[in-house]
Amino acid sequence: MKKATVIVGLGSCGLAAGAGKTYDEFHRIRQADKLDFDIKRTSCIGMCFREPLVEIIDDTGKYLYGSVDVKRVDEIIEKHIKNFSPIPEYIIDSEKYKSEDSAFFDGQVKITLRNCGHIDPESVDEYEQRGGYDAMRKISNANLSPDKVIQIVLESGIRGRGGGGFPAGMKWKFARNNVSDKKYVICNADEGDPGAFMDRSILEGDPHSVIEGMIICAYAIGASEGYIYCRAEYPLAIKRLNIALDQARSKGYLGENIFGIPGFSMEIHIKEGAGAFVCGEETALIASIEGERGMPRRRPPFPAESGLWKHPTNINNVETFANIPWIIYNGPEAYARYGTEKSKGTKVFALTGKIKHGGLVEVPMGITIKDIIYKLGGGIIGDKKFKAVQLGGPSGGCIPEYLSHIPVDYDRVNETGAIMGSGGMVVMDETTCVVDVARFFLDFTQKESCGKCTFCRIGTKRMLEILTRITEGEGKEDDIETLEEIAHTIKDSSLCGLGQTAPNPVLTTIKYFRDEYEAHIRDHKCPALSCKKLLTYEVIEENCTGCMACARGCPVDAIEGEKKQPHNILQDVCIQCGVCFTKCKFKAIRLS
Amino acid sequence: MRIKRIPQKVNHEISDLSESIDLELMRPLIEKYKNKKGNLIPLLQGTQEIYGYIPREAFLKLNSVTGLELNEMYGVATFYAQFRLSPAGKHIIKMCHGTACHVQGVTAITDELSDLLNVKDGETTEDKIFTLETVACLGCCSLAPVMMIGEETYGKLTPNQAAKIVKEIRRNEKLRENEKV
């Protein structure tokens, strides 16, 4: 009998769900009972809704266990490891046992996330066992010229995964064609888009793939120095990147004359972002690395011509770089086999919101939104009605249910008014108010506007005021038209992507859900029963036990009634704070 | 623009603390970054790591040693959300207000903690144990709603659970304090 191996998923999500304690518990019991099995760690497996995840590999195969909290560890060790009898109820996926959650993996194609959840992210050896740094070795052994490398990237058709969707190979070509004694490669890991976390997962789960991608890029464009600009909110990612960079240096993958290519040197530094969404924009990011306020600059000149410290610079995001080694090693045809005519390869989506199976999924381009939500994501929580999906974060828009048959493809998504963005997919059901969501995004972009362009600085503020007014039942008859007018002006007169796209959430929700705006403005009603100021709270007499919990909690004493008698809410005093609704344990407060 | 993060008036209480600021602690940091290009943000980040915020005295020190202009440093410090110009509590509660958390009702949780601790966004409790902050996205969207206290992330919260966690931390802090006395 071979020794069993226990692998615990220790990404940020797993840790938040208690995987650290699970990991410790396996260690504790192994030591206490003097058992003989290996314990390893890996990062995000993608199935966030069943964290903590534990995989057990033994002679009979691989078994993925879900929701393994500390209490289940003992049982799993007792039954599975000691007595070789797996516990089907806890298993999500294995050769023999399937669960209804297995569907989450069907239809996924893992290129970007090829190693995530399979390797110990702090071990360069495990990365290399799965073909790590072989792409760079291939370049060296086959004497692939920089132009040939760029040709491969161009032929693969990969487009920038950060949101813009600009062909990565073109960007590299521009940077290569600009002659300079110093060039830079920058990895944009400032994943500021609320609702997206694939870059974090890649950095935490497979940091070497990003580093290798950057080395390949440096070789192709002729750079010798690189920066990874990572959000300070991702401490684990930064820690693992530092470990990976040290390993790469000691293995000789970073430094001078690397991979036996004479004259090819590369060094990579980490820059911690200081918390500004606008720094995801490439010229603002460069300003931030230079130590200035992260404000965008006019383009042209583009960074490929004059970027960091005025040298030619190529910027790609984490997901793009993670794909590069795979493309070089397997060839452009292998990558272009997936996807649609103009959007090749796979894309990682962060599936969140009112969805049953939230997590990270990597799917071939061209799959429909509906398939992602229903086949992989398992549908809507509580089987409520699917209303819309928000794609692309604050720069994107809402795609309504009736358009969910469209395939994910840069151009098809753009046609709806949303954008692919970095791949955040927030699912909304009938209880989500789209006006409130639009207000939420405007609140975000208004705070994050750097203030350079007048229309972005002031326009977003005015739009936010109008939206807030509408959600509070104070909307005016011509508000929708005013919103549209300001929105188009901001789009037309902003320098960077933040301003040019900030109005998208409002424009798409007006386009697809105009009736909801009108209901707020004309009838002072929120059809989704979400905007607090537009709700009435009432006591359901049959359910009320007269426990007085609501009355005690009410901040304005709007609830009257004797103990053990049904209470009553005084509507003219009520401020719709919702405290009574959360305090009531007997479902005796009704919203309307 | 996050105008509210700039303190509107000078807090005299803070100025009184200035004597207790040991500027010597900054020496290794300054040695490391002095004369390097693009050093402004790492210097400010390092200073904040030492003191928990960037004291006025530290700005002056950086100005005299590195020659960085005060207005430039202030401009950068007030631009980025990460920097603080007044002391923070021992534990910083970061409430995730990302899209997924918003849709899953994080606002109610922030309100609950705000009431419990009697502070607003960005403020520090009277006992200096907590600072409550809302942040854009912690990237744990599938566990929404999420908050982070120190390095620890808590997911799938309800207002009650969040309050319980905070109360627990406060109780432990009080116990520790009593032990010291």
Question: CB distance A13–B76 less than 8 Å?
Answer: no
Q: Which of B82, B136, B142 sits opposite A277 (nearest CB)?
A: B136
Whether residue B55 is preceded by a cis peptide bond, meaning omega within 30 degrees of 0, is no
Q: pLDDT tens across A342-365, in order?
A: 999 999 999 988 999 888 999 999
Assigned CATH topology for domain A124-336? Rossmann fold (3.40.50)
What 3-state DSSP class applies to A225? Answer: strand
Distance CA B53, CA A444 (A): 24
Distance CA A364, CA A434 (A): 29
Distance CA A153, CA A139 (A): 13
Query: Domain spanning A346-429: which CATH class is it, in words?
Result: alpha beta
Question: CB distance A447–B102 less than 8 Å?
Answer: no
Question: CB distance A275–B137 less than 8 Å?
Answer: no
- Residue A90 pLDDT > 50: yes
B98 to chain A, any CB pair closer than 8 A? The answer is yes
What 3-state DSSP class applies to A25? Answer: helix
- Residue A505 pLDDT > 90: yes
The whole-number pLDDT of residue B137 equals 79
Distance CA A66, CA A404 (A): 30
B102 to chain A, any CB pair closer than 8 A? The answer is yes
Q: Note whether A315 and A285 are within 8 A (CB).
A: yes
Structure tokens at A99: 């669960």
State the amino acid at position A461 in one-letter form.
K
Which residues are within 8 A (CB) of A371 and not within 5 positions of it... i.e. 6 or more apart? A107
Question: Residue A350: beta bridge partners?
Answer: A360, A424
Question: Does A346-429 match A535-591 in CATH topology?
Answer: no
Which residues of chain B neighbour A387 with C-beta distances below 8 Å?
Answer: none
Distance CA A190, CA A227 (A): 12
Shortest CA distance from B2: residue in chain A: A447
ipTM of the complex: 0.82
Question: CB distance A293–B79 less than 8 Å?
Answer: yes
- Give Cα A103 distance to the centre of its chain: 21
The whole-number pLDDT of residue A461 equals 96
Q: Note whether A281 and A188 are within 8 A (CB).
A: no
- Residue B136: name the closest of B97, B107, B84, B108 by CA: B97
What 3-state DSSP class applies to A532? Answer: helix
Q: Which residue has the higher pLDDT, A428 or B143?
A: A428
The whole-number pLDDT of residue B19 equals 54
Q: pLDDT tens across A359-393, in order?
A: 899 999 999 999 999 999 999 999 899 999 999 88
Q: Note whether A443 and A277 are within 8 A (CB).
A: no
What average pLDDT does the segment A453-459 reach?
A: 95
Most confident option among A263-272, A528-537, B11-20, B168-177? A263-272
CA neighbours closer than 13 Å in the CB half-sphere of residue A370: 7
Q: What percent of chain B has pLDDT over 70?
A: 90
- Residue B13 pLDDT > 70: no
Alpha carbon dihedral A320, A323, A328, A332, in 10-degree steps, equals -90
Q: Which residue has the higher pLDDT, A17 or A270?
A: A270
Is residue B2 very low, low, confident or very high in pLDDT (cuts 50, 70, 90)?
Answer: low
Q: Could you tell me the residue ranges of all domains in chain A?
A: 5-102, 124-336, 346-429, 434-522, 535-591
Structure tokens at A240: 């693992």
- Give Cα A205 distance to the centre of its chain: 14
Alpha carbon dihedral B98, B104, B110, B115, in 10-degree steps, equals 170
Q: Which of A232, A290, A424 sits opposite B82 (nearest CB)?
A: A232
Residue B2, judged by CB atoms within 10 A of its CB (0-12, 13-18, 19+), counts as middle
Q: Note whether A18 and A50 are within 8 A (CB).
A: no
- Residue B8 pLDDT > 50: no
* Residue B91 Cα, gap to closest chain A Cα (Å): 16
Query: Domain spanning A434-522: which CATH class is it, in words?
Result: mainly alpha
- Residue A191: name the closest of A203, A180, A207 by CA: A203
**Residue B127 is inside which H or E element, if any?**
none
What average pLDDT does the segment A566-582 reach?
A: 85
* Residue A220 Cα, gap to closest chain B Cα (Å): 26
Structure tokens at A281: 């924009």
The whole-number pLDDT of residue B17 equals 53
**Residue A211 is inside which H or E element, if any?**
helix A207-221
Q: Count Cβ atoms below 10 Å from residue A385 Cβ, excluding itself.
A: 9
Assigned CATH topology for domain A535-591? Alpha-Beta Plaits (3.30.70)
Shortest CA distance from B153: residue in chain A: A16
Shortest CA distance from B156: residue in chain A: A17
Which residues of chain A neighbour B154 with C-beta distances below 8 Å?
Answer: 16
- Evaluate the CA torsion angle A127, A130, A133, A135 in order and state its sign: negative
Long-range contacts of A516-521 (CB under 8 A, 24+ apart): A516/A433, A516/A434, A516/A435, A517/A435, A517/A470, A517/A475, A517/A479, A517/A480, A518/A480, A520/A435, A520/A470, A520/A471, A520/A473, A520/A475, A521/A470, A521/A475, A521/A476, A521/A477, A521/A479, A521/A480
Structure tokens at A156: 């693969």
B67 to chain A, any CB pair closer than 8 A? The answer is no
State the amino acid at position B69 in one-letter form.
E
The whole-number pLDDT of residue A14 equals 85
Q: Note whether A586 and A545 are within 8 A (CB).
A: yes
Which region, left, alpha or beta, applies to residue A257 given φ > 0 means left and ψ of -120 to 50 means alpha?
Answer: left
What average pLDDT does the segment A241-253 reach?
A: 97
Q: pLDDT tens across B81-139, in order?
A: 889 888 888 899 999 988 888 888 888 899 999 999 999 888 899 888 999 998 877 87
What average pLDDT does the segment A238-242 reach?
A: 96
A5-102 is a CATH 3.40.30.10 domain: yes
Which residues of chain A neighbour B108 with C-beta distances below 8 Å?
Answer: 578, 582
- Residue A315: name the closest of A189, A191, A204, A411 by CA: A189
- Residue A290: name the closest of B97, B29, B42, B24 by CA: B42
The whole-number pLDDT of residue A1 equals 61
- Evaluate the CA torsion angle A539, A541, A544, A547 in order and state its sign: positive
- Residue B10 pLDDT > 60: no
B172 to chain A, any CB pair closer than 8 A? The answer is no
Question: CB distance B139–A447 less than 8 Å?
Answer: no
Q: What percent of chain A has pLDDT over 70?
A: 100
What average pLDDT does the segment A151-169 reach?
A: 93
Q: What percent of chain A has pLDDT over 90?
A: 71
The whole-number pLDDT of residue B136 equals 79
Structure tokens at A157: 């058709």
Q: Note whether A225 and A267 are within 8 A (CB).
A: yes
Which region, left, alpha or beta, applies to residue A275 given φ > 0 means left and ψ of -120 to 50 means alpha?
Answer: left
Q: Which of A236, A290, A293 to mutate to test the interface with B (most CBs of B within 10 A)?
A: A293
The whole-number pLDDT of residue B1 equals 52
Mean pLDDT of chain A: 92
Long-range contacts of A562-569 (CB under 8 A, 24+ apart): A566/A539, A566/A541, A567/A539, A568/A539, A569/A537, A569/A538, A569/A539
- Residue A487: name the closest of A520, A470, A511 by CA: A511
Q: Count Cβ atoms below 10 Å from residue A450 Cβ, excluding itself.
A: 24
* Residue B17 Cα, gap to closest chain A Cα (Å): 26
Q: pLDDT tens across A464-482, in order?
A: 999 999 999 999 999 999 9
